[in-house]
Amino acid sequence: MRIAHSFLTIMPEKILPEAFVARIKGQRPDDADDFLRAISGDPWLSIRTNPFKPQESHLPVAMGDAVPWCSDGNYLNDRPLFTLIPQFHGGAFYVQEASSMSLSVALSVVTPLLPPHPTCLDLCAAPGGKATLLLSRIGQQGIVVANEVVRQRAWILRENIAKWGAPSAIVTNKKPDEIAASGVTFDLITVDAPCSGEGMFRKDQTAIDEWSPKAAADCATRQREILTSIWPALKTGGFLIYSTCTYNPDENERNVEWMVNELGAEIIKLHIPEGFGIETLQTSTGEAYAFYPHKVKGEGLFICLLRKVEDTIPQRPDTKKKGLQRIEIKESKQGTEYTNGLKVYLKGDELIGLPATLASAMTELTKALSPLMAGVPIGTVLKKNGTSVFTPAPELPLSAAFKSGSIPEVNLPEQQALKFLHGDSDLLLPDDAPDGWLVISHEGLRLGLVKVIGKRLNNYYPKEWRIKMNINR
Ligand code: SAM
């Protein structure tokens, strides 16, 4: 919805809301002009590579400088057409704005303080930028529940998490108070809150169009509601990383001060090298950090690490009132041959794989949160004419836990791989490709499944994931 307000201040290219410009001039009297001018510049483009995917596969994008605060982040000098890069679909990298990768800095401080197998929640996770970063850092030893409240966005999140391939991920579609009501608790919660989006003004005209002083004030109120709702789900002694992509102090500094004063949090310092250009903000309760458009190669962002020292909201929402139902899953002997290091469970008629070291905690989370995805979808077993028929899940070959060779694999050149991703059935397979289920890969990166019966090929790449544009360049 477009909100009517005055647009009187004309910058070189972008027209910014007058009230926003006035506030920035008050916030930063010394360098407001540089700040506002930078918003009219070109946005930076960056990607983050995936440690769960074969590192030898060549990425067909020309990497620029490294992102200083994130070891697997790189700027790109040119914008490629990502849709036509098979590695993009296979989860080899995630296109993520560089400032958002600052979660990496907070995680480098938090990770050594977490228990050996932490349970983490990314509360506002779609489309999945921060959740995939969390998985890169914590997914080897701990669980990451990636949650998104908006249903349609939750399915996109599920797609991106499935493609990232970390076996210890769970994807849910819950409201914050439903998660708290379920009784599960977390060692770490990240809240990348819905916000007024001022930090996106450089790359997103809609963020400018939708901004108003009232919308920004409403965001601050909603953020406190979200934080209040999820606070009971954070263990005492657990950590919360709060971030927004706005410059508004009411959504940033005032909210972390409020968490300290009202919720019983303390702020933990991050150690940020000065050369990064990230500004330290002194709040009345401790340090927070801000990315400003004229100081860093990235968009606007605010981040603060907090710890729950005491539980000041002892009342937990009543599970029965919220109507949360526990689901049943049980251990299964079927499907174990397709993965490494996973225990297999039957959830309805679906086989799912959970990392053996995390299986007991992940089954509890799965029962309590009825997720859209838990661990590795392996496939379904259905009885047909008295025999059990196994159909592998499209997500199975994308997982890092997939056992290589358990389903024969064919490596296709770029154009054929794009045809597969487009959903085509007339693929040119090698002459010696066997009948039955086949994993399709490109440059050693697994993309999905087809089934060959004689001359017929069925493409099992999910319809919602398929490339919609014309792939013939
Ligand atoms: N963390 C994501 C990433 O890195 O890709 C971006 C998250 S975006 C800034 C904020 C998300 O919060 C949106 O996906 C939005 O749908 C969700 N959201 C909106 N209202 C919410 C609420 N009341 N409680 C929880 N999440 C909410």
For residue range 307-339, list pLDDT tens digits in order. Answer: 999 876 645 555 455 556 788 899 999 999 999
Q: Is 95 in the pocket of ligand 1 (CB under 6 A)?
A: no
Strands 143-147 and 119-122: parallel
d(CA 22, ligand 1 centre) in Å = 28
d(CA 122, ligand 1 centre) in Å = 10
Q: How many residues does the chain have?
A: 473
**Probe target for ligand 1 pocket from 47, 124, 132, with the most ligand atoms within 8 Å of CB:** 124
Q: Is 322 in the pocket of ligand 1 (CB under 6 A)?
A: no
For tokens 């620029």, the residue is 64
Q: Is 199 in the pocket of ligand 1 (CB under 6 A)?
A: no
Please report the pLDDT score of residue 311 as a whole number: 73
d(CA 307, ligand 1 centre) in Å = 21
Instruction: Report the alpha-carbon distance of residue 148 to residue 128 in Å, rounded.
Output: 9
* Residue-level pLDDT, tens digit, the chain, 473 residues: 323 344 444 445 689 999 999 999 999 999 999 999 999 999 999 999 999 998 866 788 889 999 999 999 999 999 999 999 999 999 999 999 999 999 999 999 999 999 999 999 999 999 999 999 999 999 999 999 999 999 999 999 999 999 999 999 999 999 999 999 999 999 999 999 999 999 999 999 999 999 999 999 999 999 999 999 999 999 999 999 999 999 999 999 999 999 999 999 999 999 899 899 999 999 999 999 999 999 999 999 999 999 999 876 645 555 455 556 788 899 999 999 999 999 999 999 999 999 999 999 999 999 999 999 999 999 999 888 888 899 999 999 999 999 999 999 999 999 999 999 999 999 999 999 999 999 999 999 999 999 999 999 999 999 999 999 999 86
Residue 245 annotated as catalytic: yes
Q: Is 148 in the pocket of ligand 1 (CB under 6 A)?
A: yes
Helix (H) or strand (E) holding 99: none
Among the options 70, 219, 245, 304, which is catalytic?
Answer: 245
Residue nearest (by alpha carbon) to ligand 1 atom 26: 124
d(CA 257, ligand 1 centre) in Å = 21
Q: Does pTM surpass 0.85?
A: yes
d(CA 147, ligand 1 centre) in Å = 9
Residue nearest (by alpha carbon) to ligand 1 atom 1: 125
Instruction: Report how far apart, in Å, the C-alpha atoms of 288 and of each of 106, 147, 279, 337, 411 are.
Output: 11, 25, 8, 48, 48
Instruction: Report the alpha-carbon distance of residue 213 to residue 215 in Å, rounded.
Output: 6
- Residues 371, 364 contacting (CB under 8 angstroms): no
